[in-house]
Each structure stands twice: as C-alpha cells, then as structure tokens.
Structure 1
Amino acid sequence: MSSLRAKIQDVFNEPACEQNRGKVAKARKKGCSKPLTPGAAAGGCAFDGAKIVLQPITDVAHLVHGPLACEGNSWDNRGAASSGPTLWRTSFTTDLTELDVVMGQGERKLFKAIREIKEAYGPPAIFVYSTCVTALIGDDIEAVCKRAAAKFGLAVVPVNAPGFVGSKNLGNKLAGEALLEHVIGTLEPDDAGPYDINILGEFNLSGEFWLVKPLLDRLGIRVRACIPGDARYVDIAGAHRARAAMMVCSTALINLARKMEERWDIPFFEGSFYGITDTSDALRNIAELLVKQGADPELLGRTEALIVEEEAIAWKKLAAYRPRLEGKRVLLNTGGVKSWSVVHALMEIGIEIVGTSIKKSTVEDEERIKKILKDDNHIFEQMAARELYAMLSEHKADILLSGGRTQFIALKAKTPWLDINQERQHPYAGYDGMVELVRQIDLAIQNPIWCQVREPAPWDCQPAVRQELPRTKSETATLHVVQEFAGTTAGDFGEC
C-alpha cells in the first residue's frame, strides 16, 4: 500500500497540468475530480477508470482479482473496437468468496488463475487488477505477478488501482503508471523510423480511429502505438521509440505523455479529432513535431495539400445539411473531452449550443468551453432529470446529445435524442466522422415520427358533437321498443 500511496501522491502533483501548478498544496491533494461520496459510484471508481484505459488492449488477458461483481460491473464498459484479437472480450476473474477472504486464499487463487489462463489461451501478457476487497485484506498482487512472470515466461502486469482510492480519473492515471512501470520500453522494435508517432487517450469507440488512421497513412506517418484503442501488447511495449505523440484526452493520460517525454524525448501536444478545424490542426501539429524531431520538411507541404483536399470534400458534403440545421438548438448532457470538442465541431456548421454539461470535466475542460461559448450561462454542472425534462418539454432545444441514461427523458419530452457517449454506434472522428455526426443529427431532428408523437393522443381528443336530426314516427317507435326490451330508459342510451 505504501507504493500505491506514493503513486497517488505523484499523480496529484502532476507538473504537466497548468491548473494543478496553480493550486495550493491542500487543494492539489484533492486531485482534478470531485471526491467520491460514500456509497456512490460518482461516475466510476479508480478500478473502473483503470479498466477503461487498459481493456481496449486487445490481445492480452484482463484478470480481475476480486469478487465476481467487480468484473461484471466493469466488463466491456466502453464500445471500443478491435481489428483482430478478441481475447479482451473474454472475462477473467478470481471470483473471491467470503471463505477465500477468511481463509487467506486470495494470493494462491490468483496464482492458479494466472496459470490456467496461460495454459488455455497463451496470451503475450496478463493484466491483473486489484479491487477494494483484495487491497483491504492485503493481497500482494505485485509479488504474485512477479513470481508468475518468472515461472510461466510471460509478462504479468499488476494494476494497483482499487476502487476506494479515488475517482475514475485517478484510475486512468494509475493505469498509465502501470504501463510506464511494467510495459513501455520492455521490447525494442526493429523497424523504428522518423515518422513514428503515439496516440494517447484514443479509445477507438465504434471504430473512430479507423477514420483517422488512413489520413496518417497517406502522409506516410505510422502509428507506433495507439493507447489504448485497438492496441497490441507488442506495440505498446515498443512505444518508447516513437518520435512524437498526440494526447487526445489529457484528463486520462497526461502523466503518461509527460513521463514519456522526460524519459525518451517524445514531445507531445493535446488535440482533438472532432470537427473539421480540430482535425486539420491535429494533422498540422503532428507534422510539425515530426519535422522538429528530424523528419523531412516536405512533410509539411504534403500535410497542407491533404488538408485542403479533405476539407473541400467535407465542406461540400456538409453544405447539403447547413440549410436544414443552421440555427437548430442542441443541448449536450455529457462530460469530459466531449463537453468542448463536440461543441466546437457543431458550432462550425451553424448549430446553436443552448447548454453543455461539465460533469466529470476537469478545470482545463471548463476553461476551453468558456473560450468557445464565451458565455457562462450555457454551462451547467449537473442538471436534475426534472429540470432536464422541463427544458426539453418547453422546446428550448431541438435535440439532446447525451448518453443512454437520459434518453428516456428526451423521449418523454417528445424531443429527438442522439447518443454521443461511449455506447454510440456511429464513429464521429475525423472529416468523415464529422459528416456522419451531422447526418445523424439531421436524421434525428427531421424524423417524421416526432410530428406524430407530438399530436394529442386519440383518448385525449374530445369527440365531435353530432347534430341531432329529427326522427320519423316509425324511428321513434322502434327506439321505444328496443329500450323497453332492454329494460332501460332513453337516458341510459345517451345520444345516438
């Protein structure tokens, strides 16, 4: 626990974070995110954050050392995609019970599980995650992993991030520390070149990175390691030979980017692949960093030519949607990097942002939002379900972009909704991704179903009053016969 305490303290004193440097010592110890409320997950614990960062490494086995519920709660918690191996989709856990805890069988059961995975699957590495239970009873997963690695001849990586130590954001950084300590730099690639880069904090949600990688391929830029999206263990182990790095989400792996620059002289910048402008800026920054690191300066010219070509194609496609979407009002109920990157992307085509959530966003994210929107009135920390419903039912927004948890609020308010969180089914990164995002928004808003569901229900409509026509003598006589036969009066039948 002493080594874990030191790692946590090191993360809280992250020197690459401008906001962190400006804090007093007491505030710095609290980290970037809000402290957890006892008994509440608060958007994810440290174990959940570590699993999010490491699980998309597709060819390794991810073994959770703890009760079964820990693995069940965290398995496949992001819609990352793989272009090859599927081992990461297999769930492994030691499934500790109360008897194992009482009898002190945790470490023995962990070693046995590592051996079984080695024999059955033969992965290049096994990542072992500690949990609240195993950390509290004192299981030394680092010692077990070290012994197992020596005996079985494969990498066994301890991930010491039990849930009780802090928030999901802290778990992200502790996962980065595990990669630095046990994975990166352990293998030497034999094909390192001047155009190699790392992409940090890219999760390849719904295959988003596959829309960006072809652009880099056309420039002759090779992604040495994308951490963690669609990653392979060998690629990450040799990531220290890249010449430059792009950090997509600083809240997750800024400590990893900073330490790789210090140890292996890999300069990095922070960027986004959401939106036309941000994608172009990211390509330019990558090319500039590589040239500074020794690549041929002609890369800059090829990059500008590619940007001009791709932007022209994208804007031509978006022109068809602008008349239909310009002036439409969007409400974002998300957080993190999406709270500012998606905002900037939508404003490029004339969409109005009526509000964006900063829940789970860092101070840096909030500052970016303020610069983009130039109005604090459109920023809210967290909106209760009742307030969100009231805002949508009053037609203050034309569409809600959020995660699956709030989709039913939008549906109840009869407002279009689009999934923008990690569960989404469509990729939105890069030039093609921006066109797809706008297309999905247009499809959602223009869907004819909304005209139908907003109409009054048939049972809420008052029936039309029929004008009573004078009856003939024969009709009146027939009516009296029917009424007498049924034993009723005319009042019981009402008006016909």
Structure 2
Amino acid sequence: MKPTSEQINDSLAPGCENNPQNKKSTLPQPGTAQGGCAFDSAMITLLPIADAAHVVHGPSGCAASMWGSYGSLSSGSTLYKIRFTSEIEENDIIFGGAKKLYKGIIELQRRYKPAAVFVYSTCITAMIGDDIEGVCKDATQQTGIPAIPVHCPGFIGSQSMGNRVAGEALLEHVIGTAEPEYTTPLDINLIGEYNIAGAMWNVLPLLEKLGIRVLAKITGDARYKEICYAHRAKLNVVLSAKALTSMAKRMQKRYGIPYIEESIYGVEQINQCLRNIAAKLGDSEALASPRASADLQERTERLIAEETAALDEKLAVYRSQLQGKRVVLYTGSFKSWLIIFAAQKLGMKVIATCTENSTEEETARIKSLLGEDSIIQQDSPEEMLQIINENQADMLIASDRFQDTALTAKIPFLNINTDRNHPYAGYLGILEVAKELYAAFYNPVWSEVRQPAPWNAEV
C-alpha cells in the first residue's frame, strides 16, 4: 500500500526538517531536492540488498544516478550491481508505462531469478500516474517472486524523506513476511549502515566474539530473506543513518523491539556501542538469568580492553609522527566526527571545521570537543585559504573539490568521501584513518610542491 502523508508525518522526528509541524507549508518547495533528492536516498537505502533486483521506473538517466558511485560492498551476490530500468520515453509518457514495466519485471524474474524486485517510481512516472503498486502485485502473483513498490519520486522532498520512504516500503511489504529457522536471546538488527567500503565487516567479528547474532542487516550486505524476519530480533541498533530512527520507532510500536542509537566510528563510540548493546540485551526478558547478563557485560568489557590495548600499540608509531599537527577539516555527516576523534587520539589539533548539515546540538558538541577557540567555517575556498594561512595549518582534509585550495596553500591534502576504498568503522577503521593521515602528510610530493618552479629558481 502506498504510504499516506499521515503515515510519513507520524514517522518524522519533531525536529526533522521535513516535519510539517516545523513548516508553514507542507508542499514541496522548489530547490528542496538540490544536492540529492528523495529518489537518490531511497536507492541508497535499499540498493545494498544484494540478492534483489532494483528496477527504476523512469528515464534511463535516473538509472545511472547511484550505481557505480556508491561503494556498498557485498560478501555474496552482485545482482544489485546490475542496472535495470523501464526506460520511459515520450510515447510511454503519453500512453502510460505500466504495461512496459510489467513485461520488464516478468522477463527480469525469468532470466535472473532474484530473491525480490524493488521498483522505484521517479518524478515522471509519478506525475503521469503509473500504478506501480498494481504492477508489482500482478507480477508477484504471476511469478511468486515478491515485487515491492517504492514510492520515491524526487520531488517529494530531500534525502531524509527518501530514507524514510524506503523504510516504510520495508515495513509495509517485507518485514514480518517470513520466520527465521531459530532465534536466540542475543539476536539484534543493525539499521542504517550501508557497508560502504566494507565498514560493517570491521564490526561483525566484534559482535560474534560476544556471542551476539546479527539477525538482519538493514541494509548493508543484506539478503532479502533476513530482512523478512527482522521482526524477531530482541534489539534494533540504529547506526549512521539517523533518518531510519523512524523505522526503529515503528518496529518498537508494532513488534515491541526496543532500539538504541549508536555510532561505530571512533574508539569511544564503538566502546560505548558495545557496552550499550550488552546492557540493553542484559535488561531484556530474553536474558532471564542475571548471571547470563553479567557474563555478557563481563565479556564485553574484556573485549573492549583487549581491542583498545592492541589499537593503542599500533597507533603509537603514527602518534609519534603526527602529534601536534594542525588540521583544517571540511567534510560532511559522520566523517567530521570520525576525523575529530581520530585526530584527538593521535594528538593532532583540529583548528577549524564546518557545520554543514549539522543541528544546533551537534554544533555545540563540536565546539565542546574542539574548544571555544575553534573556527567554524562556511563553504568558501577563499575563507578556507585565509584560515589555513592565518593559523599555520599543516593539513587540509576535505572533499576533492577543495584540492586546489591545498595546492595553493602548499600543504598536504587528504580526500575523504563516500567513494573511498577503505572502511573507517570500528577499531580497525581508526587505524586505517591513522595510516591515511600519515601517508598523506609525509607524501614526498608536498616537499616538491613547496619548491620554487625551475624557471623561477635562482641561477
């Protein structure tokens, strides 16, 4: 069933930018999709379901939107990497594209035998009124393979709205449709981590050492079937994508599954995450024995002590080379926190950062971590260059669009973005960040950059 505006609004947090209570008008405004639309973020959320086929019902250009530029990895099936589209053209806009979509799904299911098919609406097909709900229902009856409609035309709102719509699609059509072979008192779901560069693979072994089973991953390196029985978990752990907190709230209301919001980026954060999972599972009715709860928390503390000691030993060599270095940071989302925590662990000083897409609470937290003398900057290369020069910064960490700024300032530059090849989660992630900081800072190219050009050198 297509989610109603009431259902979507109920899932929004009171402080959310899309909550109509915070707006004078609930109608989409021009430009709200700039920098990423609801369609993009819905695909970001669901595309990591690796054994499913993902069909874009729209122009072929929309199908090229996310594939290839988002580094979500799979440990098995690679079906999710294939681009499927109904390739809507002018005649389809006039006469409708529903029949074309139905035939395409039937052929796809015959040829690839996917575990499921996710069908995404786009701006054009939503405006002409194609009934993807009915098409998916008919295709499911014809083949027996679930076809799930995702109502995510780009014009309905920003990225966070697309995340929520994707979560609603899973709640309405997937979660609760199958049962696991067995359950344990230590079953959890991980929600909102998309396994970019294999980040989740740094965390799963830690949970396995504690005897905690990840029943469903929503959605990094996920399989369709495991999401179907996610309703049998004892705890939901919401990680990077806070927009999916609304999904956890709905599961708590519908299935009685408690949830916690955690981070796996940063040493103290992963420590706290493991502790909170153990404490929450220990308080649940599934672990009726106080002794079992105490054993779980004791194992957790022992694992944290072992991992942090091993990490400190490995970081020592990098700390000796990077301690005292001054960094200017311009990254978005969780990456800012990751670099701040890693820099503090290495004895580096972040002298300036940005608060793009940050709430007032997050901005206040950044200032408390960096100190009142820290600089909060805007999206301006000129301002950034001035800050670098005035504060004698040693390194710039930003997206590739600021690489010229680093070259102008003649300081080392580290590009950190979603198309990265290294996972930054867990204890191993901090070590990876340290390696990259060291490699960038001591790259010999920077000593060459600081030399005068041969034609300007004194004879």
Shift of 1:345: 3.4
Matching residue's letter, 2:160 = N
Cross-structure match for 2:340: 343
Q: Report the equivalent of 2:428.
A: 432
Could you tell me how far apart the structure 2 residues matched to 1:75 and 1:218 are?
A: 34
**Structure 2 residue 39 is matched with structure 1 residue 47:** yes
Structure 1: gaps of 5 or more residues? 465-496
Aligned counterpart in structure 2 of residue 80 of structure 1, from 61, 64, 72: 72
**For the Cα contact (< 8 Å) 1:337–1:361, is it kept in 2?**
no
Matches within 5 A, 1:246-395: 246-293=237-284, 294-295=286-287, 296-297=292-293, 298-375=295-372, 377-380=374-377, 382-392=378-388
Q: In structure 2, how many angstroms separate the alpha carbons of the residues matched to 1:404 and 1:41?
A: 22
Q: 397, 401, 422: which is aligned to 1:401? A: 397
Aligned to 2:192, the other structure's residue is in SS state strand
Residue 440 of structure 2: aligned partner: 444
The CA deviation at 1:448 is: 1.6
Whole-Å separation in 1 of the counterparts to 2:408 and 2:35: 24
In the alignment, the residues of structure 1 paired with residue 219 and residue 52 of structure 2 have an alpha-carbon distance, to the nearest angstrom, of 12
Seen in structure 2, the aligned counterparts of structure 1 residues 239 and 367 have a Cα distance that, compared at 3 Å, is farther
Q: Render the CA deviation track for 1:122-159: whole Å, top value 9, x for unaligned.
A: 10100000100011111121121112111211111111
Tell me the residue number matched to 1:90: 82
Q: Residue in 2 aligned with 1:238? A: 229
Aligned partner of 1:115 in structure 2 is 106
Q: How does 1:192-207 map to 2 (within 5 A)?
A: 192-207=183-198
Q: Kindly, what percent of the aligned residue pairs are identical? A: 46
Does structure 2 retain, via aligned residues, the 8 Å contact 1:7–1:174?
A: no
2: CA distance, partners of 1:359 / 1:30: 24
Give the 3 Å change call, closer, same or farther, for CA 262–41 of structure 1 in structure 2. closer
**Contact 1:399 1:445 (C-alpha < 8 Å) held by counterparts:** yes
**Equivalents in 2 of 1:364, 1:159: separation in Å?**
32
Q: 1:388 to 1:192 in 2, by over 3 A?
A: same
Segment drifting more, 325-334 vs 225-234? 325-334
Query: Contact between 2:20 and 2:26, CA under 8 Å: does it hold in 1?
Result: no
- Is the partner of 1:379 in helix, strand or coil? strand
Based on CA coordinates, which of the two structures has the bigger radius of gyration?
1
Instruction: Report whether the alignment pairs 1:458 with 2:449.
Output: no
Q: In structure 1, how many angstroms separate the alpha carbons of the residues matched to 2:339 and 2:253?
A: 31
Give, as a single letter, the amino acid of the residue that structure 1 aligns with 2:141: A
> Structure 1 residue 374: deviation in Å?
4.3
- Alignment partner of 1:71 is 2:72: no
* Counterpart residue type for residue 166 of structure 1: G
Q: Structure 2 stretches of 5 or more lacking a match?
A: none
User: Secondary structure in 1 aligned to 2:253?
Assistant: helix
Matched, 1:102 2:99: no
1:303 partner amino acid:
T
Cα drift, residue 330 of structure 1: 2.1
SS at match of 1:73: coil
Give the counterpart letter for 1:123 in structure 2: P
Give the 3 Å change call, closer, same or farther, for CA 28–400 of structure 1 in structure 2.
farther
What is the alpha-carbon distance in structure 2 between the residues aligned to residue 176 and residue 183 of structure 1? 10
1:176-204 CA-partner distances (Å, limit 9, x unpaired):
11111111111111221111111111111
How far apart are residue 407 of structure 1 and its match? 3.3
Partner of 2:219: 228
The TM-score, its normalising length taken from structure 1, stands at 0.85
Q: Post-superposition shift, 1:42?
A: 2.6
| 1:145 and 2:139 matched | no
Decide whether the 8 Å contact of 2:193 with 2:241 is kept in 1.
no
- Residue 336 of structure 1 contacts residue 358 of structure 1 at CA under 8 Å; is this kept in 2? no
Stretch deviating more after TM superposition (413-422 or 129-138)? 413-422
Equivalent residues of 2:33, 2:157 under 8 A apart? no
- Which amino acid letter does the alignment assign opposite residue 91 of structure 2? L
Alpha-carbon offset, residue 346 of structure 1: 2.4
Q: Which whole-Å CA distance do the structure 2 matches of 1:209 and 1:62 have between them?
A: 22
Task: Give 1:29 deviation, angstroms.
Answer: 6.6
Label 1:367 to 1:115 Cα distance change in 2 as closer, same or farther (>3 A): farther
Q: Pick closer, same or farther for the CA change 1:250–1:52 going to 2, 3 Å.
A: closer
Q: Which secondary structure state, in structure 2, belongs to the residue aligned with residue 119 of structure 1?
A: helix
User: How far off is 1:409 after superposition?
Assistant: 3.7
Q: Please report the RMSD computed on the Cα atoms of aligned residues, expressed in angstroms.
A: 2.4
TM-score when scaled to structure 2?
0.92
| Separation of aligned partners in 2, 1:78 and 1:376 | 36
Q: Report SS of the residue matched to 2:313.
A: helix
